Amino acid sequence: MPSVAFIGAGSVVFTRQLLADLLRFPELADLEIRLHDIDAQRLVVAEGTARQVNERLGARATIVPALDRAAALDGVDFVVNMVQVGGIAATRTDLEIPARYGLLQTIGDTTGIGGVFRGLRTFPFLTGLLGDMGRLCPDAVFLNYTNPMAMNVWWASVVAPEIRTIGLCHSVYWTVHDLCELIGVPLEGTRFRAAGVNHQAWLLEWSRDGESLYPRLRETIAAQPELERRVRVEMFRRLGYYPTETSEHSSEYLDWFLRSPEQVERFRIEPLQYIGISEENVAEFEHAQRALAAAEPLELEEGAAEYAPQVIHSMVTGTEREIHGNLVNRGLIDNLPEGAVVEVPVRVDGDGLHPVAMGSIPTQGAALNRAYVSVAELTIEAARTGSKERVRQAVLADPNASSSLTPEQIWALCDELTAAHGDLIQPDLR
């Protein structure tokens, strides 16, 4: 039976969701699950979680904890990455220091200054991980969940182009799920496809029985004026296509919202929101730790619909399905740069991953995507060449940053963030 390595398994809530989705497939009940984390305490909780999930679902998986990454990777078939370099302390730094300068973010994990510095912290780790995969499991499929998604998958294509890599994110699925719920249409039986970049793709097709569901959405918005106070609804009104990430995320990718206190209030945006979310994640870990110590059952979410278990199931059993994934743009979206990482539909079967070429996406969507891609491209070049100037130019290219701060302020802010992150940043960029 195939083996799956979870790298960063101490992300116990996400690990639990992925394991539950995996082991609910009868064909995968005998998987070998290898759990790796550098934090011994978190690894103990991850192991306890895995053993409980395995038992409660009646599966027969072999659970192998490993503090040593090489042991977790040796000969494995699938590698699932969910590492967050720097943890909650780095998240606070990415959000709080820019806020002191007047640059507001909500999540800070995708693009903009938070995405740039999260990427710079993560690239050295990815280089090491992918190098280990090249030695120990060169045929494994690398399933990346770690943000900044587009930058990390792009970096993987630079340092380890031989490794089969796909970036996975549930944002497209949950966008459609929630929209169907909003308009009162069952998700089952709908057809949907999106394309663009991660966290800023566009719902290009959303239909049922051959009929577009967009007219129903417009009717629902017209009947509920409060919906117009949401960032994504405003983007839909102005662009004609619904974006595939939450309003909280989407607000920081544009220069439309966070630079103005009036816009922040109008669209009910909560700056620095991810700090609270991160604190909740820590509390969830502590709760799981206590529950396992008391032999209490952990909550198992039904139908988390994560893509990694579906990919693994399809490749192992040959079951055909379509997901959305993040891959290098090689003829997938005509009006976004070749070599960048884009999000498109992907067919999965026993032969692997088959991305769907989407042609050109709507011009107005591509225009916004290009700013996002430029930030990622400059960040990749900064790390590849050791250019401090490119780091600052990457932030300067971000619409939210450049509309909130002067270039001089951006340079000073990058200096302070670099010093604050210290050894987490590669030496030639400090």
> 169: annotated binding-site residue?
yes
Could you tell me the two tokens for 77?
Answer: 């078939």
270 and 248 Cβ atoms separated by less than 8 Å: yes
Secondary structure of 176-199 as H, E, C letters: HHHHHHHHCCCCCCEEEEEEEECC
Rg (C-alpha) for the chain, rounded Å, is 21
Task: For residue 65, give the amino acid letter.
Answer: P
> 414: annotated binding-site residue?
no
> 199: annotated binding-site residue?
yes
209 and 247 Cβ atoms separated by less than 8 Å: no
Q: Which of 170, 177, 249, 313 is catalytic?
A: 170
Write down the H helix ranges in 75-111.
87-101
Query: How far apart, in whole angstroms, are the C-alpha atoms of residue 168 and residue 170?
Result: 7
Q: Please indicate whether residue 170 is annotated as part of the active site.
A: yes
Q: What is the per-residue burial (b if ≥16 Cβ within 10 Å, else e) of 260-283?
A: eeeebeebebebbbbbeebeebee
Query: How far apart, in whole angstroms, are the C-alpha atoms of residue 300 and residue 57?
Result: 10
10 and 88 Cβ atoms separated by less than 8 Å: no
115 and 109 Cβ atoms separated by less than 8 Å: yes
The residues near 98 (Cβ < 8 Å, ≥ 6 apart) are 104, 105, 108, 113, 114, 401, 413, 417
Question: At 113, which helix (H) or strand (E)?
Answer: helix 112-136
> 249: annotated binding-site residue?
no
SS3 333: coil
Cα 27 to Cα 2, 35, 75, 321, 418: the distances in Å are: 11, 20, 21, 16, 47
Binding-site members are 147, 169, 199, 266
Binding-site members for Mn(2+) are 169, 199
Binding-site members for substrate are 147, 266
- Catalytic (active-site) positions: 170
